């Protein structure tokens, strides 16, 4: 379970194989994986490796990916 962040991806973005592929490619710590039929899978055990680089947010339409810093709540 993630201690520092949580990643929210809109259902619309998570179901678009090309967008999912882009997320998988841009993430330097492999938080995203492409599952069956191209759907998005979040690799929970990698969440705490997030560097907050913002590449996933930049790769998607505005509001599709949101990083929640649990230590800011």
Domain borders along the chain are 5-72
Distance of CA 8 to the CA centre of its chain: 7
Task: Report the pLDDT value the prediction gives residue 22, as an integer from 0 to 100.
Answer: 97
Q: How confident is the model at residue 37 (pLDDT cuts 50, 70, 90)?
A: confident
Task: Report the pLDDT value the prediction gives residue 10, as an integer from 0 to 100.
Answer: 96
* Range 5-72: architecture per CATH: 2-Layer Sandwich (3.30)
* 18-33: average pLDDT: 96
The Cα 50–Cα 37 span in angstroms is 26
Task: Report the pLDDT value the prediction gives residue 2, as an integer from 0 to 100.
Answer: 53
Res. 63: pLDDT tops 60: yes
- % of the chain at pLDDT higher than 90: 81
């Amino acid at each position: 379970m993630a201690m520092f962040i949580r990643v929210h991806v809109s259902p619309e973005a998570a179901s678009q194989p090309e967008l999912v592929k882009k997320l998988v490619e841009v993430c330097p710590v492999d938080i995203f994986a492409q599952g069956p039929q191209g759907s998005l899978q979040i690799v929970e055990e990698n969440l705490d490796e997030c560097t907050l680089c913002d590449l996933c947010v930049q790769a998607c339409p505005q509001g599709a990916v949101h990083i929640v810093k649990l230590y800011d709540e």
